[in-house]
Chains A and B, each alone.
Chain A
């Protein structure tokens, strides 16, 4: 879809909103952005609900389930809105699944997942900040300790 230069309105794509402050760069990295479409990033944007937030708008991007699962790890209540023809058609509040399959890597070097060609499985423990238990070696890690 063509548009005039300097027009930053999102016509077809995704808005990732309510990112905790300081996580926008990590979100771009997690999603392998930028790709083709234009991206607008807001950092330390004022938010009536939580004071400040980060926000990302990506033209032409529609996220897959595994990408949403990854994104959800960055914080609670991140919202993802799908935009068509300039209108929000779908809005989802992300939640970290109770079972994360093939998304995280166990940092325990002697975990069997680091020796065999298998998918990792992590169980999310209750509470925030998120903590995850490797279903194999049973080690509990914070978000920063699992990649």
Chain B
């Protein structure tokens, strides 16, 4: 396995609750380490089953496709096993068991737990009570740190560096947790930020204050055509349920949709990311552009999660 002593030291036995818990050096160490797991970088060479005999618990109290399957894939590819549930109705949660009790029970069955839960702060609480690492697979609208890590990995691999970029976020800036986590993580780097979204879905005030205090709020515009030059465009889905008045949703849904023609002014080097699932906000005619990275992002999810699991569980040391 890759020789990554710094990353191994930084991550071994550690929970991953919030992207904000990691320093720039730790983030970079993870991104460097992840290359060793990248099928492109290693030319599809087989990996040793470094996590053979280890078990990962997948506790998904909310639906998930990419996060759950990519963690499962990552663990299986490293020779480990998984157990868990993908629906709270399959667990004792439906009988009224507390999260704390569920964690204390399941930690006896596995070596680490991936937790997705509808309540914000659930992963922090789980990490406090568990004697094994907890990986936050999304806690309500709060954090999704492994998504942030794979977003950073995708941008860096595609653009060659994180410093010196101008990154635009478009769509639901208010409720999109991937936007919040990534924007916050990008504060580690010399990156210009631009936020493009409807007036009622602008950044939440606390993140806005944080960015402003760091002198990194950048520009906030309502239309993509006002964004100026961009190296990266991070798209998110605008969710209809966020709009009390359906008419308001109808007004904005097509304004925050991009197609090949809308992206033309940004040139061929623009990288387009999206945490997926998409509805109609990225037209399918964008998929063939060399900068359309959203499916690569999902593949990188496995790569980065392999690195993370191997580092946390000690397979990479």
* Residue B242, interface by CB 8 Å: no
Q: Is the CB of A136 within 8 A of B121?
A: yes
How many angstroms between the C-alpha atoms of A137 and B141 in the bound complex?
A: 9
Most-contacted residue by chain A among B119, B121, B209 (CB, 10 A)? B121
CB-defined interface of B116-142 with A at 8 Å, one 1/0 digit per residue? Answer: 011111101100000000000001111
Q: Is the CB of B121 within 8 A of A112?
A: yes
CB-defined interface of B199-218 with A at 8 Å, one 1/0 digit per residue? Answer: 00000001001000000000
Q: Is the CB of B206 within 8 A of A112?
A: no
Q: Is the CB of B125 within 8 A of A138?
A: no
CB-defined interface of A66-83 with B at 8 Å, one 1/0 digit per residue? Answer: 000000000000000000
Report chain A residues within 8 Å CB of B100: 116, 118
Which single member of A108, A110, A118 contacts B125 (CB below 8 Å)?
Answer: A118
Report chain A residues within 8 Å CB of B124: 112, 135-136
Q: How far is the CB of A40 from chain B (nearest CB, A)?
A: 41
How many angstroms between the C-alpha atoms of A110 and B140 in the bound complex?
A: 8
How many angstroms between the C-alpha atoms of A118 and B124 in the bound complex?
A: 12
Q: Which of B74-131 contact A (CB under 8 A)?
A: 98-100, 117-122, 124-125
Q: How many residues of B contact A (CB 8 A)?
A: 19
Q: Is the CB of B140 within 8 A of A116?
A: no
How many angstroms between the C-alpha atoms of A103 and B118 in the bound complex?
A: 24
Which single member of B18, B98, B118, B209 contacts A138 (CB below 8 Å)?
Answer: B18
* Residue A134, interface by CB 8 Å: yes
Q: How far is the CB of A123 from chain B (nearest CB, A)?
A: 12
How many angstroms between the C-alpha atoms of A115 and B140 in the bound complex?
A: 13
> Given A110-B140, A116-B100, are A140 and B120 also a contact pair (CB < 8 Å)?
no
Report chain A residues within 8 Å CB of B98: 116-117
Q: Is the CB of B119 within 8 A of A138?
A: no
Q: Is the CB of A137 within 8 A of B206?
A: no
* Residue A14, interface by CB 8 Å: no
Report chain A residues within 8 Å CB of B209: 140
How many angstroms between the C-alpha atoms of A138 and B98 in the bound complex?
A: 21
* Residue B143, interface by CB 8 Å: yes
Q: Is the CB of B120 within 8 A of A137?
A: yes
Report chain B residues within 8 Å CB of A116: 98-100, 119, 125
> Given A118-B100, A137-B142, are A111 and B121 also a contact pair (CB < 8 Å)?
yes
Q: Which of A106-133 contact B (CB under 8 A)?
A: 108, 110-118
How many angstroms between the C-alpha atoms of A139 and B98 in the bound complex?
A: 22
> Given A110-B140, A112-B125, are A138 and B99 also a contact pair (CB < 8 Å)?
no
Q: Is the CB of B99 within 8 A of A110?
A: no
How many angstroms between the C-alpha atoms of A15 and B100 in the bound complex?
A: 42
Q: Is the CB of A111 within 8 A of B120?
A: yes
Q: Which residues of A contact B (CB under 8 A)?
A: 108, 110-118, 134-140
18 additional contacts, CB 8 Å, given A115-B99, A137-B140, A139-B120?
A108-B120, A110-B119, A110-B120, A112-B99, A112-B121, A112-B122, A116-B98, A116-B100, A116-B119, A116-B125, A117-B98, A118-B100, A118-B125, A134-B121, A137-B120, A138-B18, A138-B120, A140-B206
Closest 9 A-B residue pairs measured CB to CB?
A136-B121, A137-B120, A112-B121, A140-B206, A112-B119, A137-B121, A112-B122, A136-B124, A115-B119
14 contacts between A and B (CB under 8 A): A108-B120, A110-B118, A110-B120, A110-B141, A111-B119, A111-B121, A112-B117, A112-B121, A116-B98, A117-B98, A118-B125, A135-B124, A136-B124, A137-B139
